[in-house]
Structure 1
Amino acid sequence: MPLHQIILCTFLACTLLLLGVHRQLTRESREISQRLEKISARTSRQRIKKHPGHEDPPVRWRQALAHLAPIFARFSISQRLEDQLTKADIPLRGEEFLIQVLLAGFCGFFLIFLLTMQPALALASGIAGLFVPFLLLKIARQKRLSKLNNQIGDALVIMANSLRSGFSFLQAMEMVRRELPDPISKEFGRTFQEINLGSQVEDALINMTERVQSEDLDLVVTAVLIQRQVGGNLAEVLDNIAETIRERVRIKGQIRSITAQGRISGLVISLLPVGLAGMMLVVNPEYIMILFNSKAGISMLAGAVVSEIVGILAIRKIVDIEV
């Protein structure tokens, strides 16, 4: 192992050891101080605020990012990122997320450069670190959207039964907000608050569809808007839409089961070269560094990356079946 790696590992090990010993030695004093702070607090809100174990970690992160956020708030990409964060239900502003993206890229570059002392490999890791937050954001948005789509059928059944019981449309929305969990409860709650604050029902429903970007929810809102203009039995309309949405969810589940092998194949094909390169970099770095130090190796890497992208896109096109 090179000398700089030994020094880095030794420094990290000593730092973690000292932190562990200090935490163990001061455990009793911390517990006593926490109990005294809880007893001395006048209200339950002050107790929660003073007690370190109940402090909200995202608040501390946002306070640390607040100093740099105004610099990035001027860019137009901050507003677009904020829209995506809202759709994924991530409590961050666009400029705060952009700062975290830059930090991820810098950390990826710095750590890999310390471990390998290879600028090209560190630069590639830094670029990859820039894309990781966007990938996680997309995964969070798709996960939330899938969960919301699975709840729309139950929400329509609750609304239809509420309308048959004599409730108004707004009371039916309030029933969905109270009975169902997030994320559909939060979205209906936001819409209900907009209406209470003076917005038109049609405008609030359109805002919800733009915020969620769900085809099933678009179908529901379109039916409700048409019914409010031409009249009709809204409960029966919601029942028919709920049946259609449940069938779509069932068919999507069957398609997902049938195409599972193809999706796993795409995942293996995309991760196998990266994993093999990482293993070779650890086991025998001189052997694999030829690819990065010669023109022929760089050309082969470029061809491999292009082939990987083409293969992934082809597999995704095959297994992506619209319903």
Structure 2
Amino acid sequence: MELGPLLIGILAAVSLGGIAFALMPYLSGEVRAEQRQDQLTNRVAARENASVQRTAASRREQVSKSLKELEQRQSARTRVDLATRIMQAGLSWPKQRYYLMSVGLALLTGFAALLMSHNPYVALGGLLVGGLGMPRWILAFLTKKRIKKFVNEFPNAIDVVVRGVKSGLPLGDCLRIIATEAADPVRTEFRHIIESQTLGLSISEACERLYQRVPITEASFFGIVISIQQKAGGNLAETLANFSRVIRERRKMMGKIQAMSSEAKASASIIASLPFVVAILVYFSSPDYISLLWTTFHGKFTMLISGFWMGMGVMVMRKMIRFDF
């Protein structure tokens, strides 16, 4: 009977202790301190997020402005003059030398056409082909050959820049290393970049001019990357490493396309050369029979029409087997 009040007292004390323990944080101000700390933490995080968003927005705005400026500059340089075409071919000729070569080729082809046909109209056609067509074809052939060499060596030059930037070298020193140790025509083009810097241009402007001398997508991308990095910042080594990998993958894809289209190119070459081969064989077997094609009016007219349609067929086949990407 005497244990009842004792147990009741113990239970009451335990209850009061539990209530006091539960209410103690609120009475001592710990809950308010935690709430204020959470509010301060949330404010700091919100400020940091807002700062990051402002920085990202500012960087995107700078990149968009840089891209617009580069697009405007490249659109202004779409028209290529004769001096630029000569420079793209890797020649250091003045315009007068090009004109003299055109006149010489025109006289040579016109005289050869006159000797073979004894027709002044054919000789006039030879003059036009030699004076207007052959010099342009020579420049286009040299430009294509030079661009092919540049594309093969350009990834190695970018790798030199990547390794130099990662090791702590400035971008200008990396470009100087390429200008002295890379293979032509990459060495020559980067030497032009260094010379442009010496004349007072910035690195981004000098790299943008690379596209004028080497009109390919890779050169344009390189100028854009350098220009954006100079204005907006960023990890240049990582960007150029990815760019080098893309160039190598494009070159691999080009090799695969050439391998897959080699059969079609061989077939097109055989089909295009077959009429000439047959005409030569017929001429050796019976020259009087085939000579009617260039000794009579009807034969000449037939050759003219046949040559036109054959040229159309060659152009169509060339378009079908040519892949640009």
* TM-score w.r.t. length of structure 2: 0.67
Which letter does structure 2 place at the counterpart of 1:178? T
* Equivalent position to 2:255, from 253, 256, 262: 253
* Contact 1:105–1:129, Cα closer than 8 Å, also in 2: yes
What is the alpha-carbon root mean square deviation over aligned residues?
Answer: 2.6
Q: Partners in 2 of 1:154 and 1:288 — Cα distance?
A: 56
* C-alpha deviation, 1:271, in angstroms: 4.2
Once residues 103 and 168 of structure 1 are traced to their aligned partners in structure 2, the CA distance between those partners, rounded to angstroms, is: 50
Report if the CA contact (8 A) 1:262-1:315 is conserved: no
**Equivalent residue for 1:299?**
301
Q: Following the alignment from structure 2 to structure 1, what is the Cα–Cα distance between the partners of residues 272 and 97?
A: 31
Counterparts in 2 of 1:235 and 1:216: CA distance versus 1, 3 Å: same
The DSSP-based 3-state class of the residue aligned with 1:322 is: coil
Corresponding residue for residue 97 of structure 2? 96
Deviations 1:178-232 (A, max 9, x none): 2211001100100110111112222212211122101111112211211112111
Question: How far did residue 236 of structure 1 move?
Answer: 0.8
Q: Matched residues in 1 for 2:91 and 2:240: separation?
A: 30
Aligned equivalents of 1:117 and 1:322: distance in 2?
42
**How do 1:4-15 residues align onto structure 2 when only pairs under 5 Å count?**
none
- Matched with 1:139 is 141
Aligned to 1:235: 237
Matched AA of 2:302: M
The runs of 5 or more residues in structure 2 that have no matched partner are: 1-79
CA distance in 1, matches of 2:113, 2:288: 16
Which of 303, 307, 312 is the equivalent residue of 2:314? 312
Query: 2 CA distance for matches of 1:179 and 1:151?
Result: 12
Distance in 1 (CA, whole Å) between partners of 2:198 and 2:181 is 19
Displacement of 1:102 after TM fit? 1.9
Conservation of the 8 A alpha-carbon contact between 2:163 and 2:237? yes
Write out aligned runs for 1:129-278 (5 A). Answer: 129-130=130-131, 131-274=133-276
Q: Which amino acid aligns with 1:165?
A: S
The alignment-based identity, stated in percent, is 23
Q: Is the 8 A contact 1:120 1:292 kept in 2?
A: no
Question: Is contact 2:84-2:212 (8 Å) kept?
Answer: no
The change in CA–CA distance for 1:188 and 1:281 in structure 2 (over 3 A counts) is farther
Deviations 1:270-322 (A, max 9, x none): 44445665677788765544333444323322322222222222222222223
- Higher relative contact order (CA closer than 8 Å, sequence separation 6+): 2
Question: Which position in structure 1 is the counterpart of 2:82?
Answer: 81
Structure 1, unaligned stretches of length 5 or more?
Answer: 1-78
Number of equivalent positions? 245
Q: Scaled by the length of structure 1, what TM-score is found?
A: 0.68
Cα distance, 1:123 vs. partner?
Answer: 4.2
* Cα separation, partners in 2 of 1:197 and 1:217, compared to 1, 3 Å: same
Deviations 1:124-172 (A, max 9, x none): 4444433233222211110111111111111110000011111111111
1:178 touches 1:185 (CA, 8 Å); kept in 2?
Answer: yes
